[in-house]
Amino acid sequence: MNFLSLGKKILFFSMALLTGLFIMHTIIEAHSPEKPVVYDPKVLQIEEENPDNGIVQEKISQFFEPEEKLVEFANLSFLEIQEKLKELNRKGKPFAFLSVKQLYLIDSRGNVLSLADSSSHYDLPVISGDSLKINFTTMTIRGKEFNEAIKLLKLLKKNNGLIYTYVSEVQIHDTIGLILYTNYAKGLPVIFGKGDLERKVAYLNAYHNEFGDSELSYKTKYLDIRIEGQIILKERV
């Protein structure tokens, strides 16, 4: 009887030991870094490593930020523009006229609001250019040069409201950049060129405060304020 009881105890402890060893082995195996990863190729697909990360990034950017499609505003027909403006039925505060074959009203962000009657907003300046680009879907003018023209008008309005009222037109020239025309001295042209607008506005302020609508301005063919440190006056011949 004692032998039978001893045998049962040995069997019990053996089973308990084996169970414990099995549990420990399972835990160790689950945390082992050597454990192989098994996956279903239908579910998990591993793309081959591409050393050209720029191409991958470009594809991602195109997916999240589709490239804006721009067209030449001058190439759009009058009927196309009319129909699109009617469809958008956009409201906004007129900031300037836009002159491209016809005259349009635009806001300060370049959104085309409507066809314009020059007598309805006679105090607004005109922005013009031969190569202006537009997003036809939103009827919004785009481009660095156009943004510069908007910035120039905002600076003139902020720094010297009086000069702003003397601005007749800002032309976006393909090679020169911005050319401002006054509404005095037979439309005196002021060549702004590209960039550095804050300095050039200060130069125009200085000239206007000293001479403005004077005989000198009438004898001047144009002002060139592109070069730092000087204002060049070209005399009429």
Helix (H, G, I), strand (E, B), or coil: what is residue 218?
helix
Q: What is the pLDDT of residue 41?
A: 41
Same domain, 54 and 10: yes
Q: Final residue of a domain: which of 24, 43, 64?
A: 64
Same domain, 170 and 54: no
Q: How far is CA 231 from the centre of its chain?
A: 32
Same domain, 201 and 104: yes
Same domain, 12 and 109: no
Condensed to tens digits (0 to 9), the pLDDT of residues 87-124 reads 998 888 999 999 998 899 999 999 999 988 755 666 88
What backbone phi and psi angles, to 5 degrees, belong to 107? -95, -175
Residue with the bigger pLDDT between 230 and 15: it is 230
Count the neighbouring beta carbons within 10 Å of the beta carbon of residue 205: 15
CA distance 203 to 126: 21
Same domain, 162 and 76: yes
Q: Final residue of a domain: which of 31, 48, 64?
A: 64
Q: Final residue of a domain: which of 64, 82, 99?
A: 64
Q: What is the pLDDT of residue 192?
A: 95
Q: What is the pLDDT of residue 69?
A: 85
How much is the mean pLDDT over the chain? 78
Residue 181's pLDDT band (cuts 50, 70, 90): very high
Calculated CA dihedral for residues 182, 183, 188, 192, nearest 10 degrees: 10
Domain count, the chain: 2
Same domain, 106 and 174: yes
Q: What is the pLDDT of residue 9?
A: 57
Condensed to tens digits (0 to 9), the pLDDT of residues 3-17 reads 555 555 565 556 655
What pTM was computed for the model?
Answer: 0.68
Same domain, 108 and 34: no
Tokens standing for residue 149:
């023209």
Q: What is the pLDDT of residue 140?
A: 92
CA distance 233 to 94: 33
CATH of the domain at 155: 3.40.50.11690
Helix (H, G, I), strand (E, B), or coil: what is residue 196?
coil
Same domain, 85 and 60: no
CA distance 89 to 234: 46
Pairing, β 177-182 against β 189-193: antiparallel
What range defines the domain where residue 201 resides? 71-235
Condensed to tens digits (0 to 9), the pLDDT of residues 36-49 reads 444 344 443 434 44
Q: What is the pLDDT of residue 164?
A: 83
Same domain, 54 and 86: no
Condensed to tens digits (0 to 9), the pLDDT of residues 50-64 reads 555 555 555 555 555
Same domain, 110 and 192: yes
Same domain, 34 and 130: no
Residue 162's pLDDT band (cuts 50, 70, 90): confident
Same domain, 119 and 193: yes
